[in-house]
């Protein structure tokens, strides 16, 4: 896969809307999609149903994140891809262990902040 920066002054949403790029994988929908561009839509009509069907068929959870390493770096340091994968696996294990700790809240609640203390009296 070859990754290129968008041209100066261009946006991913603009490139998608104009047809200069065919697709986007990102954490949020591009603004052209949110604004209802007639030629921009989901790859699957119901992404959640497609993900569930894929999991039932393959027992593989659909990707949520992706990490890339430049080929030049991997060529110079052949151990790097495995080391990065191990680091992320260790990070995930630590995060899951912290989620299992029921003594600490996993979300910020309004009542837990000092600026939400009700007035005295």
What's the mean pLDDT when you consider all of the chain? 85
Tell me: do 50 and 100 sit in the same domain: no
Q: What is the DSSP string of 44-112?
A: SSSHHHHHHHHHHHHS-PPPS------HHHHHH-TTHHHHHHHHHHHHHHHHHHHHH-TTS-SS--GGG
Tell me: do 2 and 47 sit in the same domain: yes
pLDDT at site 111 = 57
- How many domains does the chain fold into? 2
pLDDT band at 109, cuts 50/70/90? low
pLDDT (tens digit per residue) in 13-24: 999 999 999 988
pLDDT (tens digit per residue) in 62-96: 877 778 898 999 999 999 999 999 999 999 899 88
Kindly tell me if the per-residue pLDDT of 114 is higher than 80. no
> What is the C-alpha to C-alpha distance for residues 66 and 94, in angstroms, rounded to an integer?
19
Tell me: do 41 and 85 sit in the same domain: no
| Structural domain range at position 33 | 1-63
């Amino acid at each position: 896969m070859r990754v290129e920066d968008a041209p100066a002054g261009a946006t991913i949403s603009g490139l998608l809307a104009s047809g200069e790029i065919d697709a986007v994988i990102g954490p949020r929908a591009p603004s052209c999609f949110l604004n209802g561009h007639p030629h921009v839509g989901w790859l699957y009509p119901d992404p959640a149903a497609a993900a569930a069907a894929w999991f039932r068929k393959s027992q593989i959870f659909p990707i949520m994140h992706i990490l890339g390493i430049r080929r030049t770096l991997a060529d110079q340091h052949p151990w790097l891809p495995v080391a990065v994968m191990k680091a992320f696996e260790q990070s995930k294990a630590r995060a899951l262990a912290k989620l299992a700790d029921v003594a600490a809240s996993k979300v910020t609640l309004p009542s837990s902040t000092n600026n939400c203390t009700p007035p005295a009296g």
